[in-house]
A and B are shown apart, each in its own frame.
Chain A
Amino acid sequence: MKRRRHLNHLDEEIREHLEAETQDNIDRGMTPTEARLAALRRFGNVTVVREETYNVWHPVWLQQVLQDARYALRALGRNRRFAGTVIFTLALAIGMNTAVFSVIEAVLLRPLPYPEPDRLVWLAAFDRGYQPENDNHIGQADYTMWSSRTNALESAAAYGNQDLPMMVFGEPSQERVASLTGKFWELTGAKVELGRLFVPGESHAMVLSHVLYERRFHGDPSTLGQVVSINGFPFIVVGVLEKGFRFILPQQSFSGDQVRDIDAYIPIPPVLLTLPPMGQQAWEDLVQQVGPAPMWLNVVARLRTGVSLAMARREMDSIYKSIVLEHSPTQHVFDRFTGWRMSLLQQKLAGSAQRALMVLLAAVLFVHLIAIANIANLLLARAAARRREIAVRAAMGAGRTRVIRQFLAESLLLSSLGCAMGLLLAHYAISMMVRLWPQAIPRLAEARLDTPILLLTLALSCFTGFVFGVAPAMFLWHSNLHDALKDNTQTSSGSTLRTRVRKVLISVELALAIVLLTGAGLMMKSFWRMNANPPGFNPESILTMRVSLAGRQYATWPEQQSYIRTVLSRLEAIPGIDAAGIVGQTLHTNVKAEGLASETPAAAFSAIRAVSIGYLRAMGVPLIAGQWPSDNQMLDEVLVNESFARSLSRKGDVVGRQVSGGFLNGRIAGIVADFKYAQMDAEPTPEVYASYELAPLTNPMSIGLFIKMNGDAAPHIEALQKLVAAVDPTQPLYDAQTLQQSLSDSIAPRRFNLFLMGVFAVSALVMALVGIYGIIACSVTQQTQEIGIRMALGADRNNIMGMVLFEGAKTTASGIVVGLLAAIGLTHLMSSLLYNVKPNDPLTFLAVSLLLIVTALLACLGPALRASLVDPMLALRNE
């Protein structure tokens, strides 16, 4: 404000000054005109004085920057289409990049939200024979034995998750409960908002997650001290965890289980921690007396300071060997088929997501490269159009730095607008990903635009702006400006180099696009393969729900069986339901077939599924050989699937053989087709279906209900839920959905990858098409005269169109060839993301090439038509 007042009087003061000086000169005897001129001479350049005085108050650089920015805004305003395209392209590229970066940062790079995360390790056992890539979990006796012997680990904890029925205020619900032992709270740094954490040795105490506290207890602090029943056992609520605490450790999940957060924490009953080993009948009996405990444990531990992972592994190896030596096999789970692995917790969590994220990162970088090539192309075209402007400005005395600064101002303006829009886009993209696929990748929910990501994006866009500003300016400065002034036609032979550069850029774009399209195409084909079902199996029409029979009223078989029979008979009585069945537990074990030795140990390793006969009918699976069991309960007859039969068929016919293993002992009545009931992307494995009535008792008994609905007459899902709930209102019913929904949930990570890959591929395609359209349209404009001459010499419109299309086809073809070669090399890196599709699937390659050729030619069609409509007279006169 003060400065404005001072400056406002400056002009008046200068005038006064000049008048006073003129007066002095007149007093000295000059004529008024002479006096005025002399005064002006003495004073010096009024404008310069004014500017310098102005500069006292305003720094020069700021003025010039503002001036550059104003000029840049005006220049871009005149070229809205150019500016819009560049900003949009940049925004798209930056948005996608930033979104993927922030996912990678959250999932792979950000330290775990637990104290000293780099020393946390994860321990698991695995089967050497059967699915060695899958982690099994450690038994409680083993945990107790080695955690007391280890020196390399300073603290360890074991936990297991179970879905258990919880009764709160007389209302049942199914909650995910983690049972803990050891220093779990210390390892995770969990703190309570209310109450306290339970201590080792305590039993029947419960700590609530903040979510459950809000959901089931309405955030009422008087919840503390209340007694809640879990699986029929009373638990006292002793504490509520802080809102910010997140349980992100690996969970044990059974097929068909949904990934979800832990709702409540209870201690493993101390008596169960010693003997007998888990999973045995004595242990089951003990669980019936003391309360719920998980079958298997997950183990996390913290390395002692200075102890490396390799040292801890060596120690674990010797402890494991001594446990096997000192104890009988009934006392521990390790046997010669069992191995163990120890890895850093962070790596374990990132594990499966890492490869997929790296592929996505590569894809998004490709999109970024295409965007850069496109923008470079646009800027080259624009720079060519500005040659004369630059030449004129240089002739008027603009220095090189001034010209470069002008270009820089424009490109920085473009890139910062693009960056701002890109960040906005990324923000929405991230929140959409987190909402749509919260469980697709562990820790995805933590993804957000935070400072390092923002800084990275800003640096990236400043760099982009700088390169795109300086490069064309340098390019122009070195070209002969004198020629630019003389040259008043748009075409000149000097532009051919530029055109060639632009064509190479387009080819590169097309090549990158085809790599992305091939990747997306392969993933799409995998997706399609996954959705292929055997005839008769229609997951859309199958309704599933789950119930967990718990509590003392279901402590023996007759009660459980009577519940199941009641539910099934009530369901089957409803018109519109074709069949209904249940699946109880699944036992993975070796199945021996009489008179047949299995080919390999793995082939005989099967899943024995405890089902009711209605289950296979509800699934609508066709019988391939043999017959359905003759009695309706299949008590001494079993069914096997195709994979089972295939694994044994070389040794003879399977139907009619006696099979045994686990609780299974019966004759194979028939073979059914392989089908997917839980995990859409799992390869079919050998399975045997036996009556649930033969399976051992468990409590809680988790039951999956499968109901096949009959098209039009199908009853409403809520009505069925009510009907089932009415059988026993104290048993919570959950996860009611169609089998299709549950199957598609099972491949959420793949859907996530496919969606992103698809978005990247489509953006790449669109950008490449815009690029090829731009270059062809531009070259048609440049060749207007040539076209005119050709027409004057007798070329007809079809020749001209052909000429333009041929030019487009040449560029496209070279791009496609290079792209296909690159794709062949690169797609094998993503083979782990594919299902039943080879990385070099020829059909996909062909389809993608065709797609690109057709769309590229369509993009050239517009300019080609325009070229064919050139009026030769006008074109020639234009010279």
Chain B
Amino acid sequence: MSTRGLENRIELLQGTLDLLILRTLVLGPVHGHAIAKAIERNSEDVLLVEQGSLYPALHRLIKRSWISVEDGISENNRKAKFYRLTPKGRKQLAVEVTKWETLARAIARVLQPTK
């Protein structure tokens, strides 16, 4: 059942996972599973995230001090790690968003040169 509709999904471009994680954390601290869910839901299930790949990405962001980690209690009352955007991460998000928009515009112009 879960394999159905896979053909409509798009594999994430290299590096875009970081952007998506940062964007997700703008609304406040979130734990790992919830981040995965949020990305899938917000992209209307178009973006395919192999959920496991979230974790190396999260650690990469911690190492760069773009996010921090804290203990908390999840919605179903379990202990969980909550990830929070640091001020540095917030700035980085702005940079990444700009970069992404530039890229997207550029690709759009290439695809519709008549415009």
- Which are the 5 A-B pairs with shortest beta-carbon distances? A49-B52, A44-B52, A52-B56, A44-B50, A20-B33
Instruction: Using A20-B74, A38-B2, A42-B2 as known contacts, say yes or no to A10 and B80 having CB atoms under 8 A apart.
Output: no
Query: Nearest Cβ distance between residue A14 and chain B, in whole angstroms?
Result: 7
* Cβ B60 vs Cβ A41 within 8 A: no
With A38-B2, A49-B56 in contact, is A13–B51 under 8 Å at CB? no
A794 to chain B, nearest CB (A): 72
B8 interface residue (CB < 8 Å to A): no
Residues of A within 8 A of B51 (CB): 17, 21, 42-44
Bound Cα distance from A53 to B54, whole angstroms: 9
A14 touches B69 (CB 8 A): no
- Which residues from chain B contact A42 at a C-beta distance below 8 Å? 2, 50-51
**Complex contact A6–B33 (CB within 8 A):** no
Offer 6 A-B interface pairs, CB within 8 angstroms, sorted by A: A13-B32, A14-B52, A16-B31, A20-B33, A21-B51, A30-B1
Q: Which of A421-454 contact B (CB under 8 A)?
A: none
Q: Which of B1, B2, B55, B81 has the most CB of A within 10 A?
A: B55
The reply on A597 being an interface residue by CB < 8 A is no
Q: Apart from A10-B59, A52-B56, what are 16 other A-B pairs with CB-CB below 8 Å?
A: A9-B81, A13-B81, A17-B51, A21-B33, A23-B76, A30-B1, A43-B50, A44-B51, A44-B53, A45-B52, A49-B53, A49-B55, A52-B53, A52-B55, A53-B56, A57-B63
Interfacial residues, chain B to chain A (CB-CB below 8 A)? 1-2, 31-33, 36-37, 50-53, 55-56, 59-60, 62-63, 69, 74, 76, 78-81
* A43 touches which of B52, B74, B76 (Cβ 8 Å): B52
A14 to B33, CA, bound (A): 9
Residues of B within 8 A of A52 (CB): 53, 55-56
CA distance A53 to B80 in the complex (A): 18
Q: Taking the complex as formed, is A55 at the interface, i.e. its CB lies under 8 A from any CB of chain B?
A: yes
User: Shortest distance in angstroms between A55's beta carbon and chain B's nearest beta carbon?
Assistant: 7
A56 within 8 A of B: yes
Q: How many residues of A contact B (CB 8 A)?
A: 26
Summarize A's interface: helix, strand, loop or mixed.
helix
Q: Are B63 and A56 in contact (CB under 8 A)?
A: yes
Query: Which residue of chain B has the shortest Cβ distance to A56 in the bound complex?
Result: B59
Task: State how many angstroms separate the Cβ of B40 from the closest Cβ of chain A.
Answer: 9
Are A14 and B55 within 8 A (Cβ)? yes
Docked complex Cα distance between A24 and B78 (Å): 15
State the CA gap A608–B80 with chains docked (Å): 106
Q: Does A48 contact B (CB under 8 A)?
A: yes
Inter-chain contact A57/B59, CB cutoff 8 Å: yes
Which residue of A17, A21, A41 has the most chain B CB atoms within 10 A of its CB atom? A17
A13 to B37 alpha-carbon distance, docked (Å): 15
Interface string of A585-596 (1 = CB under 8 A from B): 000000000000
Q: Which of A1-53 contact B (CB under 8 A)?
A: 6, 9-10, 13-14, 16-17, 20-21, 23-24, 30, 38, 41-46, 48-49, 52-53
Chain A residues whose CB sits within 8 angstroms of the CB of B78 once the complex forms: 16
Q: How far is the CA of A115 from the CA of B78 in the complex (A)?
A: 79
A56 engages B50 (CB within 8 Å):
no
A20 to B51, CA, bound (A): 12
Report whether A16 and B52 are in contact in the complex, using a CB–CB cutoff of 8 Å: no
- Which residues of chain B have C-beta atoms less than 8 A from A30's C-beta? 1
B59 — which chain A residues lie within 8 A by C-beta?
6, 10, 53, 56-57
A492–chain B nearest beta-carbon distance, Å: 48
Q: Tell me which of B2, B32, B79 contacts A17 (CB under 8 A).
A: B32
* Cβ-neighbour of A53 out of B2, B55, B69, B74 (below 8 A): B55
A-side contacts of B69, CB under 8 Å: 6
CB distance from B4 to the nearest CB of A (A): 12
Taken together as a complex, chains A and B put the C-alpha atoms of A624 and B52 apart, in Å, by 106
A3 to chain B, nearest CB (A): 8
Tell me if B81 and A41 are in contact (CB < 8 A): no
Distance of A56 Cα from B59 Cα, bound (Å) = 7
Given A13-B32, A38-B2: A55 and B56 within 8 A (CB)?
A: yes
